[in-house]
């Protein structure tokens, strides 16, 4: 038994010595997947035309709040109307009757209140002259009648106001200056409350929604903050350019197209009429001269971090070796689409945009996104 144990021990020691003499197997470096984007040339944005469609700044389907038969429908498709102008009218006779009935009840209640107040004041005067001539119960009863009459008047006044409102609702008026683009009923037709009657649009200004790729959305954000105009051409008027401003930039990209909706705003031209639904294209004007002297990049906030106090860096990814290295940058103001970088990176370079705290110097990476970020300058 002892010999067998010694033999096993000897074999085990031999195996340990054998493996100890072999060279250590090198561990393969992990290639970390990383979200990244390439800094692009700003001239590309000015060259691009982005398709869109015109829409009115206000458009509404107008309806009555009450039901009844139409007696007038002066609004016609294509009519330009002013604020407060009558567009349609319901037969008001039933509502006039209701109003007169409510008013009559209110008048009657007011007369009863006058009598109740007169009786109460008379009892008070008698009680002051001769305390025993009138019981306190009579005084309290008359006082209660006065308070009850006043409460009834408040209720009836509310009924009169409601009846007046319903009568007023028999006339459908334009809430703003606009253009009638549709009518949904015929005159003399019985209509229901909240049933669409007329469609009205405000075409004094025109909106247009274009979709900007996420690679260029930072330039649109800068143009908005700088107040720069854009140029728009609509398909029916290809030789006419209209100035437009960026009204709003969407904060979430489409999951399928990776584009951001950008709403443009323009004044209605005097010489042509832009109608909702017209297709067109929008493009940027040349970059403002004030930006040429001080180039600025806009990159996602997630790409920037501070490994130490007073030091801000990004991860630069070498396009050939796909290795990451830190580089210090100088940042500027924060915009809706990211943060401006004044110094440290150049167009054409790749930067990591997510997971920056998990990278290390010289680490091999695999780029997950081929998106680009636009230079605003």
Asked if residue 339 and residue 283 are part of one domain, the reply reads no
Round to whole Å and give the CA distance between 161 and 163. 5
pTM score: 0.60
pLDDT tens digits in sequence order for the chain, 377 residues long: 555 555 555 655 555 555 555 555 555 667 888 888 877 666 666 678 899 999 999 999 999 999 999 999 999 999 999 999 999 999 999 999 999 999 999 999 999 999 999 989 998 888 888 888 888 888 889 999 999 999 999 999 999 999 999 999 999 999 999 999 999 999 999 999 999 999 999 988 999 999 887 667 767 766 776 666 788 999 999 999 999 988 888 877 777 777 888 899 999 998 898 988 999 999 887 554 444 444 467 788 888 888 887 889 999 998 888 889 999 998 887 776 678 788 888 877 888 888 888 888 888 888 875 444 444 33
- Total count of domains within the chain: 4
Q: What is the CATH number of the domain that holds 364?
A: 2.40.420.20
Asked if residue 307 and residue 361 are part of one domain, the reply reads yes
> What's the confidence (pLDDT) of residue 105?
96
Asked if residue 116 and residue 80 are part of one domain, the reply reads no
Asked if residue 158 and residue 103 are part of one domain, the reply reads yes
> What's the confidence (pLDDT) of residue 235?
94
Instruction: Give the Å distances, CA to CA, from 178 to 1, 80, 121, 223, 236.
Output: 108, 6, 59, 30, 22
Query: Is residue 9 domain-resident?
Result: no
CB neighbour burial string for 268-282, b if at least 16 within 10 angstroms, e if fewer? beeeeebbbebebbb
Query: Is residue 259 domain-resident?
Result: yes
> What's the confidence (pLDDT) of residue 376?
37
Asked if residue 282 and residue 187 are part of one domain, the reply reads no
Query: Is residue 10 domain-resident?
Result: no
Sign of torsion over alpha carbons 192, 195, 198, 203: positive
Asked if residue 255 and residue 314 are part of one domain, the reply reads no
Scanning the structure block, which residue is given the tokens 């009218």? 89
Residue 26 has what DSSP assignment? P
Round to whole Å and give the CA distance between 120 and 128. 12
User: Domain span at residue 178?
Assistant: 67-88+171-199
Widest distance between CA atoms in the chain? 137
Residues 6+ away with beta carbon under 8 Å from 135: none
Round to whole Å and give the CA distance between 116 and 300. 77
Query: Is residue 225 domain-resident?
Result: yes
Asked if residue 308 and residue 192 are part of one domain, the reply reads no
272, 288, 304: which is the final residue of a domain?
288
Strand partners for 243 = 231
> What's the confidence (pLDDT) of residue 135?
86
| Token code pair at residue 168 | 């007023």
> What's the confidence (pLDDT) of residue 334?
78
Among residues 170, 33, 21, which one has the least CA distance to residue 95?
A: 170
Residue 74 has what DSSP assignment? -
| Token code pair at residue 106 | 């209110």
């Amino acid at each position: 038994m002892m010999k067998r144990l010694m033999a096993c021990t000897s074999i085990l020691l031999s195996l340990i010595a054998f493996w100890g003499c072999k060279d250590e197997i090198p561990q393969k470096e992990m290639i970390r997947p990383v979200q990244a984007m390439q800094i692009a040339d700003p001239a590309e944005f000015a060259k691009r035309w982005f398709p869109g469609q015109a829409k009115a700044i206000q458009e509404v389907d107008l309806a009555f709040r009450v039901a009844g038969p139409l007696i007038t429908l002066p609004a016609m498709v294509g009519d330009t109307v002013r604020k407060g102008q009558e567009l349609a009218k319901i037969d008001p006779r039933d509502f006039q009757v209701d109003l007169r009935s409510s008013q009559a009840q209110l008048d009657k209640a007011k007369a009863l209140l006058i009598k109740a107040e007169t009786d109460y004041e008379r009892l008070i005067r008698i009680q002051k002259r001769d305390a025993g001539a009138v019981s306190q119960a009579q005084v309290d009863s008359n006082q209660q009648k006065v308070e009850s009459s006043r409460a009834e008047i408040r209720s009836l006044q509310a009924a009169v106001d409601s009846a007046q409102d319903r009568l007023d609702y028999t006339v459908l008026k334009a809430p703003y200056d606009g253009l009638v683009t549709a009518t949904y009923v015929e005159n003399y037709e019985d209509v229901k409350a909240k049933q669409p009657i007329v469609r009205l649009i405000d075409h004094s200004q025109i909106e247009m929604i274009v979709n900007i790729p996420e690679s260029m959305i930072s330039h649109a954000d800068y143009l908005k903050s700088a107040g720069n105009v854009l140029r728009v051409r609509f398909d029916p008027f290809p030789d006419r350019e209209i100035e437009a401003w960026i009204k709003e930039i969407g904060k979430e990209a489409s999951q399928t197209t990776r584009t951001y909706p950008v709403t443009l705003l323009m004044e209605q031209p005097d010489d042509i009429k832009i109608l909702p639904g017209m297709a067109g294209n929008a493009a940027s004007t040349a970059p403002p001269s004030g930006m040429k002297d001080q180039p600025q990049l806009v990159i996602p906030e997630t790409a920037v971090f501070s490994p130490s106090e007073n030091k801000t860096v990004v991860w630069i990814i070498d396009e050939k070796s796909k290795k990451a290295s830190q580089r210090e940058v100088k940042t500027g103001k924060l915009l809706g689409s990211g943060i401006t970088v004044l110094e440290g990176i150049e167009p054409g370079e790749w930067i990591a945009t997510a997971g920056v705290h998990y990278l290390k110097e010289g680490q091999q990476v695999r780029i997950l996104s081929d998106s680009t970020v636009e230079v605003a300058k």
